[in-house]
Chains A and B, each alone.
Chain A
Amino acid sequence: DVKVTQSSRYLVKRTGEKVFLECVQDMDHENMFWYRQDPGLGLRLIYFSYDVKMKEKGDIPEGYSVSREKKERFSLILESASTNQTSMYLCASSRTGHRVDGYTFGSGTRLTVV
């Protein structure tokens, strides 16, 4: 089974802190994605990557950056955490382009910024 592992299940950070959310997949997938999920807003794409060192902005990239130095790892960075970034963050990976039926999601990181 493909596994997508997110480093933390729950995280509490202070406003202004730099926050790293890590995602690792073990099936040699080319594509990796970061989403956030909020009640009433659904899943929204923050950033995605089709290859090592490659990144593309999603629908809501403001306040975030990403890093993909190795194929298996895709990191989401909150440069200066703010309370409106309190959310559930979901990482996903896939092999074949952007087709969502090939997505495997990680179990999510619930981030609270206080």
Chain B
Amino acid sequence: RKEVEQDPGPFNVPEGATVAFNCTYSNSASQSFFWYRQDCRKEPKLLMSVYSSGNEDGRFTAQLNRASQYISLLIRDSKLSDSATYLCVVMRLNRDDKIIFGKGTRLHILP
């Protein structure tokens, strides 16, 4: 099983809809979780950190489910500008500090 897995998509979603995608991780020692956004042919940029209690930033909500070992990203009232690839990032802070990027989920918001 891959250490971090994401559905590659694409998710084709009409503007204004709500969309959610998950990222599963296999190592229970993982400690920190993040969502990055990457636009086509651009570099990744931090979208939000994912806290144990969940967190919300405007239309975006991120949640962590440690029992089932996944994180989720929910986008409400989607905009055309939300079209991008969303990378899940999992971090383990042990002797072998490890950061693993998921391969990303492509999202297309349709007008």
- Given the complex, which residues of A lie within 8 Å of B32, measured CB to CB? 99-101
Q: A105, B103: Cβ atoms under 8 Å?
A: no
Tell me the chain A residues, 30-84 only, with Cβ under 8 Å from chain B.
35, 40-43, 45
Instruction: Tell me if A112 is interfacial: C-beta within 8 Å of chain B.
Output: no
Instruction: Tell me if A90 is interfacial: C-beta within 8 Å of chain B.
Output: yes
Instruction: Tell me if A14 is interfacial: C-beta within 8 Å of chain B.
Output: no
Q: Number of A interface residues, CB 8 Å? A: 17
Instruction: Tell me if B87 is interfacial: C-beta within 8 Å of chain A.
Output: yes
Instruction: Please give the distance in Å from B27's CB to the nearest CB on chain A.
Output: 15
Bound complex: CA A42 to CA B86 (Å): 11
Residue of B at shortest CB range from A107?
B43
Q: A43, B87: Cβ atoms under 8 Å?
A: yes
Quick one: given A42-B87, A43-B87, are A103 and B97 in contact (CB under 8 Å)? no
Bound complex: CA A101 to CA B34 (Å): 7
Residue of A45, A97, A101 ringed by the most chain B CB atoms within 10 A: A101
- Given the complex, which residues of A lie within 8 Å of B46, measured CB to CB? 100-101, 103
Tell me the chain A residues, 89-113 only, with Cβ under 8 Å from chain B.
90, 97-101, 103, 105-108
What residues make up the interface of A, taking CB atoms closer than 8 Å to B?
Answer: 35, 40-43, 45, 90, 97-101, 103, 105-108
What residues make up the interface of B, taking CB atoms closer than 8 Å to A?
Answer: 8, 32, 34, 41-46, 49, 87, 89, 91, 93, 97, 99, 101-104
23 contacts between A and B (CB under 8 A): A40-B103, A41-B103, A42-B102, A42-B103, A42-B104, A43-B87, A45-B99, A97-B97, A98-B91, A98-B93, A98-B97, A98-B99, A99-B32, A100-B32, A100-B46, A100-B91, A100-B99, A101-B49, A105-B44, A107-B43, A108-B41, A108-B42, A108-B43
